[in-house]
Amino acid sequence: MPPLKLSKLALSILICTLIACDFDSEQRTNYNPSETVFVKGDANHYYHTENIYQFFSPDHALENMVSAHRGSRYYDGWPENCLESFEFILENLPAVLEMDLRLSSDSVVFLLHDETLDRTTTGSGYANQKSFEKISRLQLLDHRGDTTDYHPPLLSDVLEWSEEKAVLKLDIKRNVPFELVIDEIRNADAVHRVMVIVYSLNAARVFHRLAPDIVMSIPIRNQDELEAVRDSGIPPEVIVAFTGTRETDPMLFEVLNEMGIIAIQGALGNLDRRAQSKGFDAIAKYYRKGAHMIATDYPIELYSFINK
């Protein structure tokens, strides 16, 4: 069934309901206030925050944030899900770096999008059937299929690298236990520089029980999903709304802001292709509509457009 479209009347009613009936205060987690810090160097562009909850709140969030999908997906010589490519992106813009997590046969969490190694590495076969010792020797391929000198990185290495440098979005792929990822985040003392992506409210409930202090990106694409998240009892401080990859009604952004939740508009797919053919205002317009962040496969082009 396609997502329900939000009517202005329904959203107006919902806004009033939300203002009058906030999240259950007993479900809230107490967080220590701190300043959000944005450091922009001469050669690199870094995000550093001591309070991830403020970093992702409507009152404190930076304007026009860019999320680099898989880090560097379509840049020649810079493969996706690669530590060196993350450095390349940060040389060009301040970005929240999105990456994908997979599990090797020996239960090591590393970066890879596909279930198989064939498309993005010099290897082949299912990643979860290979030890990380074997995977680590493979070379990464860029989007053209050209071999690079780079190798699949460990999640632990990326978390260590990101300190005072980047905010990360962790897309936990199927069969990767939440507990392993949470342990990696805590071992790196990285709670204040990560957000995890979950694909359903049920998954959000499970993850929140395991790690109530870690921020989650939750799909909120329509009124039904919004009301379900509101009724879940998960506090807005740990929620970032992913509004999908289609045109989003500006009223949805408005309601989310009223709730204290920022929104990520996905441009992946059709919206990105439209920007490529018609100009990047085709996706930059979502900032004006109320999105705080846009997730795109073309972060350098989007950042250049909004700062020209």
> Could you read off the pLDDT of 209-245 as tens digits, one per residue?
999 999 999 999 999 999 999 999 999 999 999 999 9
* Whole-prediction pTM: 0.88
Three-state SS for 304?
helix
Tokens of 168: 């990360």
CA 170/CA 99 separation, integer angstroms: 5
| 130 vs 26, residue with greater confidence | 130
How sure is the predictor about 308, in pLDDT bands with cuts at 50, 70 and 90?
confident
Q: b/e string for 214-226 if b means 16 or more Cβ within 10 A?
A: bbbbbbbbbbebb
According to the model, what pLDDT value does residue 34 have? 44
According to the model, what pLDDT value does residue 47 have? 85
Q: How far from each other are the two terminal CA atoms of the chain, in whole angstroms?
A: 41
Strand boundaries in the chain, DSSP class E: 36-40, 45-49, 65-68, 96-103, 109-111, 168-172, 194-197, 215-219, 239-242, 263-266, 293-296
According to the model, what pLDDT value does residue 46 have? 86
According to the model, what pLDDT value does residue 10 have? 56
Is the predicted pLDDT of residue 159 greater than 70, yes or no? yes
H or E element in which residue 12 lies:
helix 8-20
> Could you read off the pLDDT of 260-275 as tens digits, one per residue?
999 999 999 999 999 9
According to the model, what pLDDT value does residue 143 have? 97
> Could you read off the pLDDT of 161-216 as tens digits, one per residue?
999 999 999 999 999 999 999 999 999 999 999 999 999 999 999 999 999 999 99
- How much is the mean pLDDT over the chain? 89
Q: Of 281, 278, 272, whose CA–CA distance to 304 is shortest?
A: 281
> Could you read off the pLDDT of 125-153 as tens digits, one per residue?
999 999 999 999 999 999 999 999 999 99
> Could you read off the pLDDT of 106-128 as tens digits, one per residue?
999 999 999 999 999 999 999 99
Is the predicted pLDDT of residue 306 greater than 70, yes or no? yes
How sure is the predictor about 7, in pLDDT bands with cuts at 50, 70 and 90?
low
Three-state SS for 200?
coil
How sure is the predictor about 29, in pLDDT bands with cuts at 50, 70 and 90?
very low
According to the model, what pLDDT value does residue 14 have? 52
Q: Of 125, 136, 137, 119, whose CA–CA distance to 70 is shortest?
A: 119
* Contact predicate 205/234, CB 8 Å: yes
The mean per-residue pLDDT over the stretch 73-93 comes to: 96
Percent of the chain with pLDDT over 70: 86
Is the predicted pLDDT of residue 1 greater than 60, yes or no? no
Show the domains of the chain with their CATH numbers.
36-99+164-306 (3.20.20.190)
